[in-house]
Structure 1
Amino acid sequence: MQVMALPPEPWPTGIAEQLEPLVRRVLAPNPSPYTFTGTQTYIVGAEDKVAVIDPGPADEAHIEAILAAVGDAQVTAIMCTHTHRDHSPAAAPLAERTGAPIVGCAPLVIESDLPRSDEAFDPTYAPDRVLEDGEAMTGPGWTLRAVHTPGHTSNHLCFALEESGALFTGDHVMGWSTSVVIPPDGDMGHYMKSLERLQSRGDTVYYSAHGEPITKPQQLVRGMIGHRRQRENQILRLLGERARPIPDFIPEMYKGLDPRLNKAAQMSVEAHLIDLERRGLVARSEHVWKTI
């Protein structure tokens, strides 16, 4: 995995930061090896009606920080890119406090007793409206249009702010790390197609749920596609040497990896292997993979 080192503290947790005339962000107090300094909630709108994107964890201090940033404005939409527990659980309590509808991605809960290396799914998420690809929410001076980007999760959406050229990318493209793609719901083939879709767009800046704004988005996406292709080639090369189980790939492919990210790396390799298997390039027998 490609990750950045944490910036020095203090981080701007709970503080509304103005990123551009229509966009503010509020950092949630949930830092971790998988969320960087925390989940970033965005408030879109400069007048009396605003949208909240990725309200984050159901943390009372964070909800209060969002409400303080909103001030006297009316929240007309609470929008979620996907339903991992660091993104959507605050939607329900925020809706209760504001009366705003919850809109955006479809509900999705994957039941599993396996240890997860991302944030598990939010079973409380109940949208009032699911946005289809290309549908939009509007307010005074702003339009947020849904862009379906499956891969990190099957229900993942990005939201394009048409007035400024910004794209809210959730976890699909992040400002600090490559996205984790975890089977069975995460799909590497879909993820690559979604990256290619973003590369074909003309967005000028990405605001992700974790990390700083991405000011050269096309360059970054091109590099991410190249990075994933490099990982795919590494897997094929290693399998060309001998058949092996997934844990055997990690020391060769992820030198110097934080041990806390080992499971995430294994799941990323598994996602690549499943995609290669679908394409007829590799096969498995029990827990051992080989080339065809």
Structure 2
Amino acid sequence: MAAVIPAVTKLSSRIIRILGCNPGIMTLQGTNTYVIGTGKRRILVDTGDADVPQYINHLMSVLKHEDIDLAHIFISHWHHDHIGGLPDVLDIKEKTKYAQVWKYPRSEGEDIPDGCPIEFLKDGQEFAVEGATIRVIHTPGHATDHIVLHLVEENAVFSGDCILGEGTAVFEDLHDYMNSLRDISNLEPSVVYPGHGNVIHSPKDKIEFYIQHRNEREQQILNILINNRQKQFNEKELVKMIYTDTPAKLLKAAESNVNHHLLKLLKEDKVTQFNNLWQYNDTCKTI
């Protein structure tokens, strides 16, 4: 059972978490957004979904109670549950009139809400407000524009959808995603603040679990294909054989994950594809 996450939580002297109030199958308890800093001008990480008055009311209450103006708004990536609420946030005009909105450029082209000015980030770029120094790290895989933010003062990482508080993440490109997990691991963060789910207090263990889990899934797929060399399978058939304990409502996401594993294996010449069916590549010499 998912842990209850309060609407507003002060996580440290410089971090306030405000829940996006948009629970769902893929968003868990909802999107976590974070206000960072100790002074009057602070940073907001992500903006939740569009048209969620409850979230905007909570955010507005925090900004007014703490006497905060937003200097920067960082969007971890383009998915609607992270950027969709941006117009509603910017409508809190007395608290966002000086705010610059930032995200990393998306390789497929941008999908930005109308009327929202965006500045584009660079990998390694740093920002500072009172009490907080933030470094931007490009971590593609879940999405091509995905970033995590490293809070230097606490050696903390805001992980967006790259690492979740519960369960495992979905991704667009498994090869890039695995590299991004290793990049985060190399930071040796003390704590991870995810885009969904509760705070991760043992980041090393969580990241190692993610990497091991993906490697195990890949091996499960390969084992089926190797043991059935003359057969061809689609993603749905493989999911039925591998994800035996997964709720039905999550099986489509599982099919997507299996597809990305297969695409990675195709790049590595370990499988072949024909008419959307997959088969072990018997010419492969690495297994």
TM-score of the aligned structures, taking structure 2 as reference length: 0.89
Q: Distance in 2 between matches of 1:160 and 1:195?
A: 14
Q: Distance in 2 between matches of 1:222 and 1:150?
A: 18
Q: Distance in 2 between matches of 1:49 and 1:199?
A: 30
Shift of 1:128: 2.6
Q: In structure 1, what is the equivalent of residue 53 of structure 2? A: 60
Contact 1:250 1:262 in 2 (8 A): yes
Moved beyond 6 Å, runs of 4+: none
Contact 1:85 1:122 in 2 (8 A): no
Shift of 1:279: 0.9
Q: Distance in 2 between matches of 1:212 and 1:194?
A: 21
Greater Cα radius of gyration, structure 1 or 2: 2
Shift of 1:92: 2.6
Q: Give the letter for the 2:122 counterpart.
A: E
Tell me whether 277-286 or 123-132 shows the greater mean CA deviation.
Answer: 123-132
Shift of 1:145: 0.9
Q: Distance in 2 between matches of 1:122 and 1:67?
A: 26
Percent identity of equivalent pairs = 29
Q: Distance in 1 between matches of 2:134 and 2:73?
A: 12
Shift of 1:108: 6.7
Shift of 1:107: 4.8
Q: In structure 1, what is the equivalent of residue 160 of structure 2? A: 170
TM-score of the aligned structures, taking structure 1 as reference length: 0.88
Contact 1:250 1:265 in 2 (8 A): yes
Q: Distance in 2 between matches of 1:22 and 1:158?
A: 18
User: Greater helix percent: which structure?
Assistant: 2
Q: Give the letter for the 1:36 counterpart.
A: L
Give the aligned length: 270
SS in 2 for 1:244: coil
Structure 1 gap segments, 5+ residues each: 111-120
Q: In structure 2, what is the equivalent of residue 251 of structure 1? A: 240
Contact 1:171 1:209 in 2 (8 A): yes
Q: In structure 1, what is the equivalent of residue 6 of structure 2? A: 12
Give the root-mean-square deviation of aligned CA atoms. Answer: 1.7
Name which of 100, 121, 128 aligns with 2:118.
128
Name which of 34, 48, 63 aligns with 2:26.
34
Cα distance per residue 1:3-29 (max 9 Å; x no partner): xx3236xx523xx21101110101122
Contact 1:159 1:167 in 2 (8 A): yes
Shift of 1:123: 4.2
Cα distance per residue 1:37-90 (max 9 Å; x no partner): 111110101221111101111222212211211222110011110011111112
Q: In structure 1, what is the equivalent of residue 16 of structure 2? A: 24
Shift of 1:280: 0.8
Q: Give the letter for the 2:56 counterpart.
A: I
Shift of 1:233: 0.5
Name which of 118, 124, 140 aligns with 2:130.
140
Contact 1:277 1:283 in 2 (8 A): yes
SS in 1 for 2:122: coil
Shift of 1:127: 4.9
Q: Distance in 1 between matches of 2:178 and 2:104?
A: 19
Contact 2:41 2:129 in 1 (8 A): yes
Pair 1:227 & 2:220 matched:
no
SS in 2 for 1:12: coil
Q: In structure 2, what is the equivalent of residue 114 of structure 1? A: none
Pair 1:282 & 2:275 matched:
no
Structure 2 gap segments, 5+ residues each: 282-287
Q: In structure 2, what is the equivalent of residue 116 of structure 1? A: none
Q: Distance in 1 between matches of 2:216 and 2:117?
A: 38
Cα distance per residue 1:153-179 (max 9 Å; x no partner): 010000011111110000000111211
